[in-house]
A and B are shown apart, each in its own frame.
Chain A
């Protein structure tokens, strides 16, 4: 269904921490984006109110999703769009392959779409003998490298510019002049991609927001590749998660107001495309046929559950940038198309606990994600809910559950707790009067990086009891 890297989460995280190139790239990029977001939100006088407003729009939409989906389908159809519904990834890829086959498509250009990553669309199209070219610069590099994105809005955040230069040399025979600096590399890729746009007979895009009242598709982007992908080829197929709706154009404005500010720190992206149906008579350009594939793929199973709030997400990536765990391990360690805090909830929520039970554990619950989220999604609350599911489903190491059960038995019996406390203090003072540099069992993880302090000679409460007894005596 979605990519799962061959190694378990924790091993991938360890490798990421030990990778100096990745660490350099992450420090540069996340640091820059964190500052940019704060400044962009602070720059609008009602920044906090704008977030509340955007949250209210998303909450209302998700609470009434069925109604808005019906309206969207009706309006999009009326505007001349062919609307399809796919229950899962296989159904979605099959729909797109069938549309392409029906139109005898050979060459496809593709704008950035997380849903297409989620359903592994390129793989299916290439299997059907079609040429697919990613046209978002980051995604283009990913495709050349046979890599996968590591950030929902900055797919090559894990690469340094030196690594990209190397890819262009190796895969596209770029000269030293072509890769002299970032501007040169961009111009070089632009030249290559222009030829692809001109030759393509089908364009694929994602959708940032579907507008229910008009059946419009809104796509935001900075490179113009999204506009070219959706206007140059004769056929446009858009992939859209079923939750990505807003009721009205006014609501779209509310969401756009916080989206780019939270993602890249821009007031607005360079291009904001709103597409309502195919080319009309008299239009100078545009596709003659537009399809929208509404993809469920695990989304609806989160509705009316304690994970429903994750569907409010507008995919800005702010929670990834501020997450101290993401900053250390990057996106690939998560193994999912959706990384970082939002991915740690979304991935097991939509795709099941099975292979993803580790992700909700990958958080210190510091709350930076919730603080940064433009629609104030309570990610820590849902991480806890998923940890409870993991605990109940036997997806966590046994010592954790057993240890906590034993601790609870003691902690709910004050006399036993006092006795155990005295024993623990004496034992630890005897074994490690100055603390511990190395401990066995689960605590070995602690002492790998930290000294473990000595316990107190006497607890505060024991001392109090002792002094009280002395006072009571005549």
Chain B
């Protein structure tokens, strides 16, 4: 499921950041870290105006007209600039790359526009490793890290080796294995509020595995999953942090 076929011909010098609504409202530091890491690689990072939500939650809920409206809004604002698009979220990347073209398949004009945007959209670690060829980022992070593979990034976009490679090259940190690191944490968007007891049971299992790993920080590629796991660990009084990989690579404490 690797998307290596989508790698552009030349090395880009400029990218546009789709911040995603969750990062924007709950984890702006993650977006700052993304900008810092990419600038460090010599890229100009622009933030297109009028960003709201890509429509992923509506898509997952089966609310197709709502998902389509939000996807169109997002596609239109990303079309204004031909630069590749970087997204610090596997879920929203999957929305733009796979779900939006599928939702718009019956509308030829929009389907073409969706596909054109999809073709130059990359998840953050995918941009670093697959497009820029960067597997090591200078940063001064220490401590013990363990990687949890967020579902949509892993199975939707094919992100797995990229973040693991980047973490393995963080000089001051030790990366520990996390048991069942590719099992869903139980977030699933509205799933967590519509079926909270099932989601809660999945989260409880995840929290037990996190504790078993012995890591002080769990590293992810989606802040939604981070919020979910952090919320569970906080409730259970377990002193483990869950952080987006950009914050690790951006050297944030």
Q: A449-B232, A452-B231, A460-B32 are in contact. Are A405 and B66 (CB under 8 A)?
A: yes
Q: Which residues of B contact A392 (CB under 8 A)?
A: 62
Query: A364-B191, A366-B155, A370-B155 are contacts. A417–B25 as well, Cβ < 8 Å?
Result: no
Of A163-171, A239-247, A258-266, A395-403, the one contacting chain B is A395-403
Bound CA span A460–B70, Å: 20
Would you call A47 an interface residue if the criterion is a C-beta within 8 Å of the partner chain's C-beta atoms? no
Complex: chain A residue closest to B232, CB-CB:
A450
Q: Is B12 an interface residue (CB 8 A)?
A: no
Report A-chain residues with C-beta under 8 Å of the C-beta of B82: none
Interface assignment of A471: CB less than 8 Å from any CB of chain B: no
Which residues 366-396 in A have Cβ within 8 Å of B in the complex?
A: 366-368, 370-371, 381, 384-392, 396
Q: Which residue of the partner chain, among B49, B63, B195, contacts A13 with CB atoms under 8 Å?
A: B195
| Of A13, A324, A361, A442, the contact of B197 (CB 8 Å cutoff) | A13
Is B25 touching A456 in the complex (CB atoms < 8 A)?
yes
B234 at the interface (CB under 8 A from A): yes
- A362-B195, A412-B69, A458-B28 as given contacts; A401 in contact with B63, CB under 8 Å: yes
Within 8 A of B (CB), among A312-328: 324-325, 328
How far is it, in angstroms, between the C-alpha of A463 and the C-alpha of B27 when the chains are bound? 13
Give Cα distance in the complex from A388 to B47, angstroms. Answer: 33
Q: Mark B1-21, 1 if CB is under 8 A from A, else 0.
A: 000000000000000000101
Complex Cα gap A453–B195 (Å): 20
* A84 located at the interface, meaning its Cβ lies under 8 Å from any Cβ of chain B in the complex: no
- Cβ of B63 and Cβ of A363 under 8 Å apart? no
Among A371, A449, A452, A453, the residue within 8 A (CB) of B199 is: A449
**Closest Cβ neighbor of B186 among chain A residues:** A364
For the complex, is A329 an interface residue (Cβ under 8 Å from B)?
yes
Contact with A along B92-130 (1 / 0, CB 8 A): 000000000010000000000000000000000000000
**Shortest Cβ distance from residue B124 to the other chain A in the assembled complex, whole angstroms:** 14
Q: Which residue of A10, A367, A388 contacts B151 across the interface (Cβ within 8 Å)?
A: A367
**Which residues of chain B from 39 to 54 have any CB-CB distance to chain A below 8 Å in the complex?**
47, 49-53
Q: Indicate if A67 sits at the interface (CB-CB under 8 A).
A: no
In the bound complex, what is the Cα–Cα distance between A18 and B228 (angstroms)?
A: 22
* Neighbour of B58 across the interface among A361, A362, A364, A404, CB < 8 A: A404
**List of B residues within 8 angstroms of A32 by Cβ:** none
Q: Say yes or no: A361-B194 contact (C-beta < 8 A), given A324-B183, A417-B52.
A: yes
| Interchain CB contact under 8 A, A387 and B61 | yes
Asked if B188 and A364 sit within 8 Å, CB to CB, the answer is: yes
Chain A residues with CB under 8 A of B102: 381
| Interface residue from A365, A370, A424, A459 paired with B191 (Cβ < 8 Å) | A365
**For the complex, is B200 an interface residue (Cβ under 8 Å from A)?**
yes
- For B189, list chain A residues within 8 Å (CB): 364-365
- Nearest to A11 among chain B residues (CB) is B197
B47, A361: Cβ atoms under 8 Å? no
Number of interface residues of B (CB under 8 A): 65
Is A17 a contact partner of B198 (Cβ separation < 8 A)?
yes
Q: Min CB distance, A46 to chain B, in Å?
A: 18
Judging by beta carbons under 8 Å apart, are A408 and B70 in contact? yes
Interface centre among B61, B62, B191, B204 (most CB of A within 10 A): B62
Residue among A363, A411, A451 making CB contact with B235, cutoff 8 Å: A451
Q: Which residues of A contact B69 (CB under 8 A)?
A: 408, 412
Which residues between 169 and 213 of chain B lie within 8 Å of chain A, taking CB atoms? 182-184, 186-205
What residue of chain A has the Cβ atom nearest to residue B227's Cβ? A453
Q: Is the Cβ of A461 less than 8 Å from the Cβ of B231?
A: no
Query: Is B57 close to A, CB under 8 A?
Result: yes
B58 A371 Cβ-Cβ under 8 A:
no
> Taking the complex as formed, is A432 at the interface, i.e. its CB lies under 8 A from any CB of chain B?
no
Contact B231 A425, beta carbon cutoff 8 Å: no
**A385 and B189 alpha carbons, distance in the complex (Å):** 17
A404 to B231, CA, bound (A): 23
Tell whether A388 pairs with B201 under 8 Å between CB atoms, given A400-B194, A459-B24: no
CB proximity of A408 to chain B, nearest CB, Å: 4
- Check A461 against B26 for contact (C-beta < 8 Å): no
Q: List 30 A-B contacts (CB under 8 A).
A: A13-B198, A17-B197, A325-B202, A328-B201, A328-B205, A362-B195, A364-B186, A364-B188, A365-B189, A365-B191, A370-B155, A391-B61, A391-B62, A400-B61, A404-B58, A404-B61, A411-B52, A411-B53, A414-B51, A445-B193, A446-B193, A448-B200, A449-B232, A450-B200, A450-B231, A453-B230, A455-B26, A459-B28, A461-B24, A461-B51
Q: Which residues of B contact A (CB under 8 A)?
A: 19, 21, 23-28, 31-32, 47, 49-53, 55, 57-64, 66, 69-70, 73, 102, 151-152, 154-156, 182-184, 186-205, 227-228, 230-232, 234-235
Given A367-B155, A404-B57, A449-B203, 13 more A-B residue pairs with CB atoms under 8 Å apart are A10-B195, A324-B183, A370-B155, A388-B63, A400-B63, A400-B190, A446-B231, A449-B231, A450-B235, A452-B231, A456-B27, A459-B28, A461-B24
